[in-house]
Amino acid sequence: MTGTDTFDPAALAPRLPSPSQEVVDGRFERHGVRLLLKRDDLIHPELVGNKWRKLAPNLPAAGGRAVVTFGGAYSNHLRATAAAGRLLGLPTVGVVRGQELAGLPLNPSLARCAADGMRLHFVDRPTYRRKTEPGTLAALLRAVDAEDAFVVPEGGSNAEAVRGCRALGEELAGQADVAAVACGTGGTLAGLAAGLPRGSRALGIPVLRGGFLEGDIRRLQDRAFGGPRGAWSLDDRFHHGGYARTSPGLEAFAADFEARHGLGVERVYVAKMLYALSALAQEGAFPRGTTVAAVVTGRPFP
């Protein structure tokens, strides 16, 4: 199905505001820190957490056209876009980083994308890095026969998505002094910070190496709001080797958190954020009496 008459926003009906859940954990309690989990993973069964907040403002603009977007082999964003396409009757194309994956059996994440109707197009890493350049983007759209497609950037982070994520901060008004979120492309943090009330701040935990996000977040806020909004900072010490990489310490922490609180901990983003918050509490980074809200942006993928 295509065309604006097939777009049914009710198919993306979310559970909003997402609930906040207090967890009692000695690693925070002993330092006088109260921990809340902002359960954005419960917003929608398939468009989980910040993926719903980013995609919902973008997809109506597609007007029934194919949606082309970008991601790695284990991209939550690709899975969410594919699911949205199936629910809304929109054709989707995923440009996947890694030409070497072409022809190989699909991993479970990409297999889910394909099952939801997404066409996958694999590109080499140098081309992927240049995907936002006008000439490269035009060539990619020609290659997938979608020159008139609606393009959503990697991670879904653009001005529309940032404005969509502002509601996350607004929902936390009066609940937390610090709102923490794991960062990939920075769009969620940019919107979260803008929505928080004066006196609260946002903390981003990058899951990639490189230290490049600060400029990206400033640019996203400029495009979304015309300038900086809210108080925010990044702590880039907790990537555990880079995107989708882990460490024995991170695995042990995540397993222990699951056992203590009965919550499945997604490893690419959420585990790194929770690990960081525990370490920061032990370092005394939060004054006694601080309430920290940890935004749970995803759930473990089978």
Residue 302 lies in a domain: no
User: Averaged over 27-40, what is the pLDDT?
Assistant: 98
Is the per-residue pLDDT at 86 higher than 80?
Answer: yes
Domain boundary (107, 129, 156) is at 156
Is the per-residue pLDDT at 3 higher than 50?
Answer: no
The pLDDT of residue 5 is: 46
User: Averaged over 251-278, what is the pLDDT?
Assistant: 97
Tell me the C-alpha to C-alpha distance, in Å, between residue 165 and each of 32, 170, 181.
29, 9, 12
The pLDDT of residue 257 is: 98
189: nearest Cα among 227, 131, 232: 232
The pLDDT of residue 8 is: 59
Across the chain, mean pLDDT equals: 93
Domain boundary (129, 156, 183) is at 156
User: Averaged over 145-172, what is the pLDDT?
Assistant: 95
Residue type, 269: Y
Residue 300 lies in a domain: no
Are residues 182 and 288 part of one domain? yes
How is 113-154 classified by DSSP, letter by letter? HHHTT-EEEEE-HHHHHTTTSHHHHHHHHHHTT-TTPEE--G
18: nearest Cα among 302, 301, 299: 299
pTM of the model: 0.92
3-state secondary structure of 110: helix
Are residues 227 and 122 part of one domain? no
Are residues 38 and 104 part of one domain? no
- HSE at residue 211, side-chain half, CA atoms within 13 A, is 1
User: Averaged over 200-223, what is the pLDDT?
Assistant: 94
Q: Percentage of residues in the chain with pLDDT exceeding 90?
A: 84
Is the per-residue pLDDT at 244 higher than 90?
Answer: no
Are residues 20 and 76 part of one domain? no
Residue 77 lies in a domain: yes
Residue 301 lies in a domain: no
Residue 271 lies in a domain: yes
Are residues 162 and 260 part of one domain? yes
Are residues 200 and 98 part of one domain? no
Domain boundary (156, 180, 210) is at 156
Are residues 203 and 81 part of one domain? no
User: Averaged over 258-272, what is the pLDDT?
Assistant: 96
The pLDDT of residue 148 is: 94
Is residue 68 within a helix (H) or strand (E), and if so which, with residue range? strand 67-71
Are residues 221 and 74 part of one domain? no
Q: pLDDT band at 212, cuts 50/70/90?
A: confident
Are residues 259 and 190 part of one domain? yes
Place of tokens 């709001």: 225
Are residues 163 and 17 part of one domain? yes
Are residues 92 and 234 part of one domain? no
The CATH number for 76's domain is 3.40.50.1100
Residue 213 lies in a domain: yes
3-state secondary structure of 88: helix
The pLDDT of residue 7 is: 55
The number of folded domains in the chain is: 2
Q: Which residue range(s) make up the domain with 22?
A: 4-50+157-295
Q: pLDDT band at 302, cuts 50/70/90?
A: confident
Which residues on adjacent β-strands are paired with residue 175?
none
pLDDT digits (tens, 9 = 90+) for 183-209: 999 999 999 999 999 999 999 999 998
Residue 56 lies in a domain: yes
Is residue 225 within a helix (H) or strand (E), and if so which, with residue range? helix 213-225
The pLDDT of residue 2 is: 40
Are residues 162 and 136 part of one domain? no
